[in-house]
Structure 1
Amino acid sequence: MTQRITVIDYGMGNLRSVAKAVEHVAAGNDEVLVTDDPELILASDRVVFPGQGAARDCMAAISDHHLNRAVLDAAQSKPFLGICMGQQVLLEFSEENNGTELMGLIEGRVRRFPGGTAPDGEALKIPHMGWNQVHQGYDHPLWAGIGQDSRFYFVHSYYVDPEQQALVAATTDYGVRFASAIADRNLFAVQFHPEKSADAGLQLLRNFISWNPT
């Protein structure tokens, strides 16, 4: 079956690498579209919501592109994958920039890493940047074919802290144990970058393309 997979373009995020990774794992007759058109986003079969940068800048860009309603509607109505800042802005509030109101789809806050030291005594640098293990919290279709504690690529200084811990689909340790993936019905969102995470990341994208949440 032919399907349209849309990557939301609001002017922030490494859209080319995300789109190329999705195209790499998509079926030959699938369409991968990068767009900021709300109507096209809502007409799509699946939606990928990437992002990077500061929370306040991302929220301003989403508003400037008139995408607030389209993002919220898509996140509640069709298979939806949030990546990095595309995960964080789904929550209510970020500590970044002395406080930034977010989209409010998921109850909770985005917190700054406290720093500290690793088990070997080395100082933990902020941002958290590089490869780290992702510990799956339960059996979810997007983890199919991905081993427990597989390593994914991260670049971030803040992490999500949802109020409902039942939404936490995976955790990662970096001074604190934080939610590196959250899931709620048709929504799955990750702090890491699957498009930069080699075979494990491509497998997650492949799973997303075939995922049929009930």
Structure 2
Amino acid sequence: MQQLVSFAPIFGLAGLVMAFLIYGYIRKQPDGNERMREIAEMIHHGAMVYLKRQYTIIFAFIALVFILLSVFINWQTGIAYVGGGISSMLAGFFGMKAATKANVRTAQAANLYKPDTAKSLSIAFLGGSVMGLSVASIGLVGLGIFFLLYGTPEQAAIINGYAMGASSIALFARVGGGIFTKTADVGSDLVGKIEAGIPEDDPR
């Protein structure tokens, strides 16, 4: 069993390579006309601005928790917490990049191959798989490394810091992302009603 666990970082790196290849395939798909590309770029830019702002705050939170864990438990648990937090942030960044690049290509595939939805579904699925592979693969790499460092029964509790770090950042992303998307939804609703004159519940 110990020997199998030692291969975890290798499997994780293999998963990251696969995620990178899928992302490259998505980028090669047609991304529509100029207007579609313009809108997609605005969405991508907005998502990256959101991540930058959120991660700036999260870095401060990680630093604070690292100090507290180092003082009240031990510095190894603090390091594991930082590792888990950074892993979760990387997974979120990769997933956001893939999602914002895949959405316009999914729309273009649906337009090119209609009424067949197989191509658009494939691109959408692959776009989501980048996030899934990133989460699992980065988790394997991180947990594998910390298990190799602190895998003895006496030190195994240190690895809990890694899980706590990853979960903390996921909580920030869940709550912050919900607020961000709701704000965008309300903003687009106001623009549609006031500037474009689109009535409530209009199918457009």
Q: TM-score, normalised by structure 2?
A: 0.24
| Greater fraction of residues in strand | 1
Which of the pair has more CA radius of gyration? 2
| Greater fraction of residues in helix | 2
